[in-house]
Amino acid sequence: MQCRTQTVFENTTPEILKDFYWDDEFRTRWDKMLVYYKTLYVCPQTGTMVAHWIRKLPIIGSKKEYSIVRRIWECDSNYYCITKVVAFSGCFTSEPAKEYI
């Protein structure tokens, strides 16, 4: 299943939105479905990041673990972001999930 979203923000800058969405620690304050995150890898050349997320689903007691690869870059005063769920060996474990659900 793929999900594509589009959101319109008024009275803000691209830099503020980039920082807002890219900060997983802050994201746990406003996204109540994100209950655990860990950065697994950051490429020093491109900034591409692999993160492990555990999200609480609306169904009581259910959870979903993700390994997410994402990259953001600026070109001609525009920001571009790619986020994709991928297989990343060794990051899935039920231990953090039990602690946070």
Give the pLDDT confidence of 27-78 residue by residue, as tens digits: 888 888 888 899 888 899 988 988 998 888 777 667 888 888 889 888 888 8
The Cα–Cα gap between 97 and 100 comes to 5
Q: Is residue 34 a part of any domain in this protein?
A: yes
- Total structural domains within the chain: 1
The span from the CA of 62 to the CA of 44, in Å, is 35
Residue 94 scores a pLDDT above 70: no
Q: Please tell me whether the overall predicted TM-score, pTM, comes out greater than 0.75 for this model.
A: no
* Interatomic CA distance for residues 54 and 51, integer angstroms: 10
What range defines the domain where residue 74 resides? 14-100
Is there a domain that residue 88 lies in?
A: yes
Distance CA(91)–CA(67), nearest Å, equals 7
Q: How many CA atoms lie within 13 A of 101 on its CB side?
A: 18
Q: Interior CA angle at 91 toward 87 and 96, to 5°?
A: 135
In a domain, 60, yes or no: yes
At 90, is the pLDDT very low, low, confident or very high (cuts 50, 70, 90)? low
